[in-house]
Structure 1
Amino acid sequence: MTPNSGIGAHVSTKGGFVQAAKRAHAQGATAFQYFPKNPRSLSLKALDAIDARQCRDYCMEYGLASIAHSPYPTNPALGMSRGEAGYHAVIASIRNDLEIADACGSVGTVVHFGHMKSDDPLVGYQHIIQTLDMVLEQWDGKAKVLLENQAGDHGPMGTTMEEMVQIRKLCSHPEHIAFCFDTCHAFASGMWSEGEEQAMLEKGRKLGYWDALAAVHFNDSKYASGSCKDRHARIGAGRIGSDGMKALLASPEFGKAVVVMETETGKDGTHREDIALMRSWQ
């Protein structure tokens, strides 16, 4: 099996970004995910250059990879449908996340595909392209927008690999866009069912989806395939199951990605147990 770019989980940034890196390292992780700012707001956060540099240096010293996760209100599919102020707030927020992620030495910032209700479904896709083009205009950092697939709980937008590939292709700066594949979201949306992992992986190869994969949210699903319910379970404890999660982790596509869990912690309040389990599968 190809060694992963990193295995870990989402961690708190209490005390700063370097403290997040130290928390990840303390539980045996070689990767972690963090919120660059308040996850419930699009309000911008001033970059603490010293903290970010300390985080980057610590990660280099201990071999840690990291990804940021943009706030939950980030919805590039809305465009100006809810007003110009909201549109520019999303653009500024994603750019702010990219700048923080870049300063911390992170691979990029995860951005949900987004959703909107419209009589013309193409409108939402046009909004996503326009928003990402504005975000990435004149962006010269190494951190990328990591476009994440969705579970279908807000509708069918963003639930297929075809959409991801096409949106990236149509954007003006595809070199600054990569993918974050959420296993729970993909399973819940009906992208594959139990035991069909290899067929799903092969489909992604044919589409070229995995060529742009940079990160994985490694979450089991509390609900069945096609449920469209975004409810994460600890790895091996959900409907994907241990065999399915093992098959995914063993794939060469996942092997090149930063793999992080967004699941419940163990009894000790950390993901140490699940990280050790994942390592036993390698």
Structure 2
Amino acid sequence: MIFGCHLSIKDGYLGAAKRAYSMNAGAFQYFPKNPRSLSVKDFDQNDAALCKAFCEENNILSVSHSPYPTSLTPINEQKRNQVIQSLLNDLEISDACGSIGVVVHFGKEVSHLTLLESYQLIIEMLNEILSEWEGNAKILLENNAGIPGAFGTTLEELVQIRRLCNYPEKIGFCFDTCHAFSCGLWDGENWDLFLENALVLGYLDHLKLVHFNNSKYDTRIGKDRHAPIFGPGYIKETQFDQLVQTPQFANIPFVLETPKEEIPHEKEIELLQEKWGDHGKVKN
């Protein structure tokens, strides 16, 4: 398996890649710029190129995560324009770093729009962004957390949005285990049913990343609070085992977004490798 975690770019993109290597990680996730801003970043092209070369040389996969204010369902025209320019910037940075793509949250139902109009807005946003994008990095739509039936919590929604977009080849998926557990999409006991549905829908054909997180709350509560994989979380080790051992997940990076204050990510990656093995980067 390929295990990694979210890392800071305080020492640059190359610095993050070197940190992943030092942790014996096969992958890492990063914010391409300030995670609390939609401002367009004039990034260091040389640093990004060095990051890409280092990752290729050491068999490390990378992926970026769009800043927190990013939304595919912006509430007004000003926010819409900001998000579009910001995501194009994120894609450019990610492509320069050789990353798989940019993780983007599915979006939220807009209060002044109908449910259908909210879905249509997501498609419009994706079409506008991807019509201008010609690089290799993809937008990776992430499943939402929430109570059962909340907006963006089903595989059907994710697959249908991709299908209806004018540029489906530029869109992949990110599966967050805590989010899925939060809404009961995967409640720990229904993996076979989840997998069957994912295969029928073609979801796994476009899955590029797993956000590997335990949950501090029980399933179907709607709480998005991450916990370490091994510990007091509500997802059991045997339940994670079903996911990890599924053949369709063998070459997909599993990236931790767990609270590193509780278990340092370096230690947690070590535990993951001891439990399930690491077929990502291997040091010489």
User: What TM-score, normalized by structure 1, do the two folds share?
Assistant: 0.93
CA 1:241–1:122 in 2, change beyond 3 Å: closer, same or farther? same
Unpaired segments of 5 or more residues in structure 2? 278-284
State the shift of 1:195 in Å.
2.5
* Runs of 4+ that moved beyond 6 A: none
Tell me, in whole angstroms, the C-alpha distance in 2 between the residues paired with 1:213 and 1:256.
Answer: 10
| Offset, 1:249 | 1.2
The aligned residue for residue 71 of structure 1 is: 67
Superposed, 1:99-138 pairs within 5 Å as 99-115=92-108, 116-118=110-112, 120-138=114-132
Say which is worse superposed, 155-164 or 90-99, in terms of deviation.
155-164
Q: Name the amino acid aligned to 2:173.
A: F
CA distance in 1 between counterparts of 2:223 and 2:117 reads 25
| 1:257 to 2:252 alignment | yes
CA deviation after TM superposition for structure 1 residue 170, in Å: 0.3
State the Cα distance separating 1:155 from its structure 2 match: 7.8
**Residue 92 of structure 1: CA displacement?**
0.6
Among 16, 22, 26, the residue aligned to 2:22: 26
Render the CA deviation track for 1:69-108: whole Å, top value 9, x for unaligned.
Answer: 0011111123xxx322111101111111000000000000
Q: Take 2:186 and 2:4, find their aligned partners in 1: how far apart are those partners?
A: 24
Letter in 2 for 1:248: L
Say which SS state the counterpart of residue 8 (structure 1) adopts.
strand
2 CA distance for matches of 1:196 and 1:180?
19
- Once the two structures are TM-superposed, the CA of residue 261 in structure 1 deviates from its matched residue by 0.5
Contact 1:168 1:177 in 2 (8 A): yes
Match of 2:8 in 1: 12
Equivalent position of 1:242 in the other structure: 237
- Which residue of 209, 215, 223 maps to 1:221? 215
**Aligned residue-pair number:** 274
Residue identity matched to 1:8: G
- Please say if 1:232 is aligned against 2:241: no
Greater CA deviation, 118-127 or 178-187? Answer: 118-127
Residues 73-88 of structure 1: pairs in structure 2 closer than 5 A: 73-78=69-74, 82-88=75-81
- 1:266 offset after TM fit, Å? 6.3
1:60 aligns with 2:36: no
CA distance in 1 between partners of 2:20 and 2:32 (Å): 15
Query: What percentage of residue pairs aligned between the two structures are identical?
Result: 49
Normalising by the residue count of structure 2, what TM-score does the alignment of the two structures yield?
Answer: 0.92
**Residue 256 of structure 1, CA deviation:** 2.6
Please tell me the residue identity of whatever aligns with 1:211: D
SS of residue matched to 2:63? strand
1:166-205 matched pairs, under 5 angstroms: 166-205=160-199
Structure 1 regions of 5+ residues with no counterpart? Answer: none
- Pairwise CA RMSD: 1.7
- Give the AA of the match of 2:6: H
Partner deviation per Cα, 1:154-187 (whole Å, 9 max, x = no partner): 9811100000000000000000000000000001
Q: CA deviation at 1:255?
A: 1.5
Secondary structure, counterpart of 1:76 in structure 2: coil
- For 1:245 and 1:9, locate their aligned partners in 2 and report how far apart those are by CA, in whole Å: 17
